[in-house]
Amino acid sequence: NAGVTQTPKFQVLKTGQSMTLQCAQDMNHEYMSWYRQDPGMGLRLIHYSVGAGITDQGEVPNGYNVSRSTTEDFPLRLLSAAPSQTSVYFCASSSERLAGYETQYFGPGTRLLVL
């Protein structure tokens, strides 16, 4: 299993540009989440999904959209990039059904710089 994969690893955007951060998992996990990590602020939940077709907002959803058309994929879309969205983005997946509890596994992260 590849686990949780993310692309790209690093991206530079100009203010106002849009882009999609890709996340995929091959563990058949029903739960997937997106976090952003900023210095001194830990990991903050952006959006999450409890299954295909079901998404919900986390702590900091503004400026981001998600969709979950399949169990495997959970892309994060930046609608109009702003310098405040400069961060490291982590995707994570988990499964209560398989493990009995919801341990999360993280992807390698995407480092985003918005100029």
Partner 1 sequence: GENVEQHPSTLSVQEGDSAVIKCTYSDSASNYFPWYKQELGKRPQLIIDIRSNVGEKKDQRIAVTLNKTAKHFSLHITETQPEDSAVYFCAASIDSGTYKYIFGTGTRLKVLA
Which residues in this chain contact partner 1 in the complex, by CB under 8 A?
Answer: 31, 33, 35, 40-45, 48, 50, 56, 58-59, 90, 94, 96, 101-109
User: CB of residue 17 vs partner 1: minimum separation in angstroms?
Assistant: 25
Distance from C-alpha of 78 to C-alpha of 64, rounded to nearest angstrom: 5
> ∠66-93-74 over CA atoms, to 5°?
25
User: CB of residue 35 vs partner 1: minimum separation in angstroms?
Assistant: 8
Decide whether 91 or 114 has the Cβ nearer to partner 1. 91
Decide whether 10 or 79 has the Cβ nearer to partner 1. 10
Residue 42 corresponds to which tokens in the numbers above?
């830990």
CB 51 within 8 A of CB 70: no
